């Protein structure tokens, strides 16, 4: 079978597909494909493995009639028109679970970095502003026994809450579509409504999927209801946070700080004012960026495709209804 990979992925995934005897074509350029280029390349393939953030809309599926399956090397799938894929009989898979620990580590890194203004203080050294000791300048806040609110307590949110509980004895509250009994039993997590999550959290960490319902969920109205001593963390998708409103809220002192591993758009404009704020830490979407995690994601994405090629159900299927 002919397989097109939209971006260079870890070699273990490519080797797994090659070992099964398939013809692999990889878009190795760092420049993303245009819509026309993506369609042209995919028209020449039987299967596509998406290693980046290419968008697969209704027009894509309409113009790739020979496509048999799409495998995503990611957990999120907001870049894919799932109803259109299902309409055209295309199963779509992702890579859940594997990156939970690595992404939770980045959420923890951001929480701690924001609380101690780490990125800003590092810049002070680079800019020659570290002149000596000042007992009142650029002070952070401590995290011990604070309340951690989780918006979307799935696998990543659970791992982050577990780490925060162990390190700082944080009190865990969460808002979810459904109760997470495991978190309640193991971490003492308490289910609250969305308003309580906003008003009670000392640190509020976002771990939900980006959907039409959650887009811009965190905006000027929600920031106004949060503690002015609160830290906002986002390692999910940039579209959940209105960055213009976040900037205004931070400038007005409605929030203490923010840590972002995801932005909207990506890449972030280097002139974005968030990058120069003392109480903000921004990373370039590195949640899953460890050797071990990316290798395992590539292997899972490849395995999903191999299952489809064999005529089996893709193990990590998103649109299960395509098989019915």
Token pair in block for residue 307: 């299952």
Angle between helices 100-115 and 118-126 (to 10 degrees): 70
The single residue of 27, 116, 237, 294 carrying the catalytic annotation is: 237
Q: Which of 27, 207, 285, 294 is catalytic?
A: 285
Q: Nearest-CA neighbor of 158 among 141, 135, 181, 142?
A: 181
266 is catalytic: yes
Place of tokens 């700080």: 257
Residue 88 catalytic?
no
Strands 92-93 and 190-191 turn out to be unpaired
- The single residue of 266, 278, 292, 321 carrying the catalytic annotation is 266
Active site residue 292: no
Contact present, 118 and 101 (Cβ < 8 Å): no
Q: Which of 285, 228, 237 is nearest to 257 (CA)?
A: 228
What sign results for the dihedral spanned by CA atoms 104, 105, 111, 117?
negative
For residue 157, which phi and psi values (nearest 5 degrees)? -60, -40
Q: Could you tell me if 305 and 3 are in contact, meaning their C-beta atoms sit under 8 angstroms apart? A: yes
The catalytic site residues sit at 237, 266, 285
């Amino acid at each position: 079978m002919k397989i097109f990979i939209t971006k260079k992925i870890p070699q273990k995934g490519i080797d797994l597909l090659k070992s099964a005897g398939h013809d692999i074509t990889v878009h190795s350029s760092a420049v993303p494909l245009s819509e026309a280029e993506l369609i042209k390349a995919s028209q020449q393939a039987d299967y596509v493995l998406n290693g980046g953030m290419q968008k697969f809309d209704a027009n894509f599926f309409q113009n790739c009639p020979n496509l048999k399956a799409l495998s995503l090397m990611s957990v999120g799938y907001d870049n894919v028109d799932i109803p259109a894929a299902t309409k055209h009989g295309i199963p779509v898979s992702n890579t859940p679970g594997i990156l939970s620990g690595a992404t939770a580590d980045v959420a923890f890194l951001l929480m701690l970095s924001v609380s101690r203004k780490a990125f800003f203080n590092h810049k002070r050294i680079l800019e020659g502003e570290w002149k000596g000791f000042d007992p009142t300048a650029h002070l952070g806040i401590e995290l011990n026994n604070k309340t951690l609110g989780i918006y979307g307590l799935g696998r990543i949110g659970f791992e982050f809450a577990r780490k925060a509980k162990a390190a700082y004895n944080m009190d865990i509250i969460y808002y979810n579509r459904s109760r997470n009994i495991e978190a309640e039993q193991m971490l003492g997590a308490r289910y609250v409504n969305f308003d309580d999550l906003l008003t009670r959290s000392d640190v509020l960490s976002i771990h939900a999927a980006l959907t039409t319902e959650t887009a811009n969920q965190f905006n000027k109205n929600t920031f106004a209801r949060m503690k002015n001593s609160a830290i906002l963390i986002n390692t999910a998708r940039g579209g959940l946070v209105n960055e213009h409103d976040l900037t205004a809220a931070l400038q007005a002192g409605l929030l203490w700080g923010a840590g972002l591993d995801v932005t909207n758009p990506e890449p972030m404009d280097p002139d974005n004012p968030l990058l120069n704020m003392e109480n903000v830490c921004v990373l370039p979407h590195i949640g899953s960026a460890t050797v071990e995690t990316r290798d395992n994601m590539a292997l899972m994405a490849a395995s999903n495709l191999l299952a489809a090629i064999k005529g089996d159900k893709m193990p990590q299927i998103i649109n299960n209804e395509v098989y019915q």
